[in-house]
């Protein structure tokens, strides 16, 4: 009795909400419905996709895209496999682990040309290179241990040579760790480090033996085969969205803010500018175009992960990457 | 039946003011406010004297500033969380009550499904939440189900106990009066179970807010859980604390509403009636 009532209440709330949405969004009867699952919350790192949605670049291509927010407990590989979304953004390690399990997903583009993960230390501790990590306390999220292992391995060390602590920037400022992992794109969060009177040092994974990309676009392998047309259109719209976000960062952040009330616009704007100039557009996109993926880079990354025993050694770029979408799409070179 | 009257004479007609707090409650409230204020003053002193940076622990004044500055944001975030928590509360407790009744009337069902209920209880909510999102999608549904899962067990255990905690003499009397099972349930068991059920509801009403927040952590762009995440990510500790405070206020309000309902429904002395 009450359960039916509560269900009815839920149903009416949902239908009211969808009515409200229908009132705002123009109805595209002929549009193909696509769901994009983000790896993280709505913020500057998804500005290109959000701009493509808000400026109607997806709609121009005949796609009715819904962007779903992620979060720390979100597993976009699983969500893509289960059909929660057709397309998702994902990070390199989880894609490699999925391939290691033989799961049928592949990358078909990479919004971020370089993975931003960087290790910060304060000037006082005088950590000039990864070699100086020996005996130090390294802080990062639990998921970053494999990346740390690779970076250490590249410098002839093992995980036992350092003390791994789960920590964030406040841990570094409080002296709980000597080195902490952060993304340089989180400009505002890194301010206390950057403004440290004695300066600061950084070691990025990119410069220390681990050159994978980030915010990969992933889809099920069978979808890449059966509906490459949709994925090509999707990629072209994202390309246009990122180009627009790069040219109009303030407007892009306004669009991001319209989808997530809690972001702080000034922080996200600073972040977006770094994302665009250092990560979305690099020498490789100037030469090959937006969202480029290098097969050699995937092979090298898989080898480093196999070397530290995280994945099977027989995996190759073909297990994680399908180049057909990138090849078919008209991509901006900038 | 005379047995009805023995219970109902203790229960006068419901008067709305009878559920409002009396003088003794007001005193308790006053003392609580005093204790809270002293804690806040101490907190402010420690933060100021030791120069604790605000990204670590914000002073109460910082939190108050964030509260007033972000009030529209907090209110906006509270609405979806309250909706999810409330619907989860209804769903979880309704299912728990129905299951409890079936347990009381059918030993076999109890023997078969009580272990299942315990299993449901022991599932780590943070682990099951992403799975529920995959099954139920990205909308309000997984959040409601997570809130319901958290509510389910306390209410089940307490109401089974309550439905059974009947004075055997009363049952014998009903038997002598050849009362049907339904009559025994409606006249005896419900009254014996209500105090137990309300104890459980008081637990689950605060827990369901937690469930809704955990639900929002798997993917949301609104709600208290989302605001907590974004504030944590931005190292915006004052707003983080203000959001935590908002979550507490929601839970406390729920607790107060259930307590007032309890006062209004249970107008007999549970100890004496049983």
Average pLDDT over residues B33-54: 90
pLDDT band, very low/low/confident/very high, at A205 (cuts 50, 70, 90): very high
Residues of A in contact with B56 (CB under 8 A): 170, 174
Nearest Cβ partner of B83 from A7, A13, A42?
A13
Q: Does B17 score more than 80 pLDDT? A: no
- pLDDT score recorded for residue B60: 92
The two beta strands, A63-68 and A105-112, are unpaired
Q: In chain B, which among 43-62 make CB contacts under 8 A with chain A?
A: 53, 55-56
- pLDDT score recorded for residue A2: 43
Measure A278 CA to nearest chain B CA, in Å: 21
Evaluate whether B75 touches B221 at the Cβ level (below 8 Å): no
- pLDDT score recorded for residue A261: 86
Evaluate whether A211 touches A116 at the Cβ level (below 8 Å): no
Check CB contact of B226 with chain A, cutoff 8 Å. yes
Q: Please indicate whether, in this complex, the C-beta atoms of A173 and B55 are within 8 angstroms of each other.
A: yes
Give, in order, the Cα–Cα distances in Å from B134 to each of B167, B212, B219. 47, 16, 11
What CA–CA distance (Å, rounded) separates A21 from B131?
27
pLDDT band, very low/low/confident/very high, at B90 (cuts 50, 70, 90): very high
Phi, psi of A278 (to 5 degrees): -110, -20
Sign of CA dihedral A218, A220, A222, A226: negative
Check CB contact of A191 with chain B, cutoff 8 Å. no
What CA–CA distance (Å, rounded) separates A149 from B203?
45
Sign of CA dihedral B131, B135, B138, B143: negative
Nearest Cβ partner of A188 from B140, B144, B234?
B234
- pLDDT score recorded for residue B259: 93
- pLDDT score recorded for residue B16: 63
Evaluate whether B158 touches B202 at the Cβ level (below 8 Å): no
Average pLDDT over residues B24-48: 91
Measure B69 CA to nearest chain A CA, in Å: 12
- pLDDT score recorded for residue B234: 81
3-class secondary-structure state, position A164 = strand
**CATH T-level topology, domain A118-208:** D-Maltodextrin-Binding Protein; domain 2 (3.40.190)
Closest CA to A246 of A213, A274, A212, A205: A274
Is A118-208 the same fold as A30-115+212-328?
yes
Q: Please indicate whether, in this complex, the C-beta atoms of A6 and B94 are within 8 angstroms of each other.
A: yes
Check CB contact of A173 with chain B, cutoff 8 Å. yes
| Per-residue pLDDT tens over the stretch B146-198 | 999 999 999 999 999 998 888 888 888 988 988 888 888 888 888 889 999 99
- pLDDT score recorded for residue B183: 86
Residues of A in contact with B126 (CB under 8 A): 73
| Per-residue pLDDT tens over the stretch B198-233 | 999 999 999 999 999 999 988 788 899 999 988 888
Q: Please indicate whether, in this complex, the C-beta atoms of A260 and B56 are within 8 angstroms of each other.
A: no
What CA–CA distance (Å, rounded) separates B198 from A214?
51
What CA–CA distance (Å, rounded) separates B82 from B60?
25
Sign of CA dihedral B233, A234, A285, A328: positive
pLDDT band, very low/low/confident/very high, at A24 (cuts 50, 70, 90): very low
pLDDT band, very low/low/confident/very high, at A129 (cuts 50, 70, 90): very high
Evaluate whether A88 touches A76 at the Cβ level (below 8 Å): yes
What CA–CA distance (Å, rounded) separates A112 from B61?
40
Q: Does A20 score more than 50 pLDDT? A: no
Residues of B in contact with A196 (CB under 8 A): none
Q: Which CATH class is domain A30-115+212-328?
A: alpha beta
The two beta strands, A87-90 and A137-140, are unpaired
CATH number 1.10.3720.10 given to B2-273: yes
Q: Please indicate whether, in this complex, the C-beta atoms of A72 and B98 are within 8 angstroms of each other.
A: no
Average pLDDT over residues A51-67: 96
pLDDT band, very low/low/confident/very high, at B133 (cuts 50, 70, 90): confident
The domain segmentation of chain A, as residue ranges, is 30-115+212-328, 118-208
Check CB contact of B208 with chain A, cutoff 8 Å. no
Q: Does B114 score more than 70 pLDDT? A: yes
Please tell me the pTM assigned to this model.
0.82
| Per-residue pLDDT tens over the stretch A140-192 | 988 888 999 999 999 999 999 999 999 999 899 989 999 999 999 999 889 88
Q: Does B15 score more than 80 pLDDT? A: no
Residues of A in contact with B236 (CB under 8 A): 264
- pLDDT score recorded for residue B244: 95
3-class secondary-structure state, position A119 = strand
Closest CA to B78 of B228, B230, B232: B228
pLDDT band, very low/low/confident/very high, at B127 (cuts 50, 70, 90): confident
Out of A30-39, A249-258, B265-274, which region has the weakest mean confidence (pLDDT)? B265-274
Look up the ipTM and state it: 0.73
Percent of chain A whose pLDDT exceeds 70: 91
Closest CA to B185 of B170, B201, B163, B169: B163
pLDDT band, very low/low/confident/very high, at B66 (cuts 50, 70, 90): very high
Sign of CA dihedral A206, A293, A112, A108: negative
- pLDDT score recorded for residue A16: 44
- pLDDT score recorded for residue A23: 42
Residues of A in contact with B94 (CB under 8 A): 2-3, 6
Kindly give, in sequence order, each residue whose CB lies less than 8 Å from that of residue B77, ignoring residues fewer than 6 positions away: A261, A262, B222, B223, B224, B226, B227, B243, B246
Check CB contact of B126 with chain A, cutoff 8 Å. yes
Q: Does B273 score more than 80 pLDDT? A: no
User: Per the structure block, which two tokens stand in for A91?
Assistant: 């990070």
- The shares of helix, strand and coil residues in chain A, as percent rounded to the nearest 5, are 50, 15, 35
3-class secondary-structure state, position B241 = helix
3-class secondary-structure state, position A82 = helix
Give the helix/strand (H/E) hosting B111.
Answer: helix B107-122
- pLDDT score recorded for residue A275: 96
Q: Does A26 score more than 60 pLDDT? A: no
The domain segmentation of chain B, as residue ranges, is 2-273
User: Between A324 and B130, whose confidence is greater?
Assistant: A324
- pLDDT score recorded for residue B236: 86
- pLDDT score recorded for residue A22: 44
In what order do the strands lie in the sheet containing A163-166? A163-166, A137-140, A179-182, A118-122, A200-204
Evaluate whether A168 touches A180 at the Cβ level (below 8 Å): yes
Q: Does A19 score more than 50 pLDDT? A: no
User: Per the structure block, which two tokens stand in for A227?
Assistant: 């509906």
Measure A69 CA to nearest chain B CA, in Å: 5
What CA–CA distance (Å, rounded) separates B47 from B150?
36
- pLDDT score recorded for residue A15: 47
- pLDDT score recorded for residue A93: 93
User: Between B132 and B12, whose confidence is greater?
Assistant: B132
Nearest Cβ partner of A262 from B56, B90, B226?
B226
- pLDDT score recorded for residue B270: 67
């Amino acid at each position: 009795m009450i359960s039916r009532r509560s269900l009815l209440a839920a149903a009416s709330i949902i239908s009211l909400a969808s009515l409200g949405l229908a009132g705002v969004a123009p109805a595209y009867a002929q549009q193909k419905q696509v769901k994009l699952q983000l790896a993280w919350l709505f913020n500057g790192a998804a500005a290109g996709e959000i701009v493509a949605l808000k400026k109607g670049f997806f709609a121009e291509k005949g796609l009715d895209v819904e962007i779903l927010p992620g979060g720390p407990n979100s597993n976009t590989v699983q969500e893509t496999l289960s059909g929660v979304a057709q397309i998702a953004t994902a990070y390199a390690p989880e894609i490699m682990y999925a391939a290691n399990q033989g799961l049928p997903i592949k990358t078909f583009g990479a919004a971020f040309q370089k993975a931003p993960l960087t290790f910060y230390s304060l000037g006082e501790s005088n950590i000039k290179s990864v070699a100086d990590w020996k005996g130090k306390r390294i802080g990062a999220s639990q998921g970053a241990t494999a990346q740390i292992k690779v970076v250490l391995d590249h410098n002839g060390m093992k995980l036992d040579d350092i003390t791994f602590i789960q920590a964030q920037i406040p841990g570094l400022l409080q002296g709980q760790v000597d080195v902490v992992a952060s993304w340089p794109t989180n400009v505002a969060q890194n301010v206390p480090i950057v403004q440290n009177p004695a300066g600061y040092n950084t070691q990025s994974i990119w410069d220390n033996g681990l050159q994978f990309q980030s915010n990969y676009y992933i889809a099920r392998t069978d979808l890449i085969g059966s509906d490459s047309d949709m994925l090509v259109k999707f990629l072209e719209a994202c390309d246009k969205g990122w180009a627009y976000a790069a040219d109009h960062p303030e407007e892009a952040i306004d669009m991001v803010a319209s989808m997530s009330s809690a972001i702080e616009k000034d922080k996200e704007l600073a972040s977006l500018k770094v994302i665009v100039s250092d990560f979305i557009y690099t020498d490789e996109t100037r030469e090959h175009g937006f969202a480029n993926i290098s097969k050699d880079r995937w092979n090298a990354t898989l080898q480093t992960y196999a070397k530290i025993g995280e994945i099977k050694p027989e995996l190759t770029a073909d297990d994680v990457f399908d180049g057909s979408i990138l090849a078919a799409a008209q991509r901006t070179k900038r | 039946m005379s047995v009805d009257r023995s219970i109902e004479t203790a229960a006068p007609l419901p008067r709305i003011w009878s559920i409002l707090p009396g003088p003794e409650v007001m005193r308790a409230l006053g003392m609580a406010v005093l204790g809270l204020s002293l804690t806040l003053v101490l907190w402010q002193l420690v933060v100021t004297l030791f120069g604790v940076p605000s990204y670590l622990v914000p002073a109460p004044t910082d939190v108050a500033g964030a509260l007033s500055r972000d009030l529209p944001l907090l209110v906006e975030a509270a609405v979806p969380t309250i909706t999810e928590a409330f619907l989860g509360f209804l769903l979880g407790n309704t299912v728990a009550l129905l299951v409890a009744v079936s347990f009381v009337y059918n030993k076999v069902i109890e023997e078969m499904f009580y272990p299942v209920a315990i299993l449901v209880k022991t599932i780590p909510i943070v682990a099951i939440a992403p799975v529920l999102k995959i099954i139920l999608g990205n909308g309000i549904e997984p959040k409601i189900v997570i809130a319901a899962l958290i509510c389910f067990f306390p209410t089940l255990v307490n109401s089974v106990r309550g439905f059974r905690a009947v004075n055997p003499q009363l049952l014998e009397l009903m038997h002598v009066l050849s009362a049907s099972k339904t009559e025994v349930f409606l006249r005896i068991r419900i009254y014996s179970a209500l105090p137990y059920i309300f104890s459980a509801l008081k637990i689950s009403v605060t827990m369901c807010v937690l469930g809704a927040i955990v639900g929002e952590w798997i993917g949301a762009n609104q709600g208290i859980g989302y605001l907590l995440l974004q504030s944590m990510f931005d190292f915006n500790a004052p707003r983080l604390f203000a959001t935590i405070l908002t979550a507490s206020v929601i839970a406390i309000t729920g607790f107060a509403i259930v307590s007032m309902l309890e006062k209004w429904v249970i107008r007999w002395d549970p100890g004496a009636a049983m």
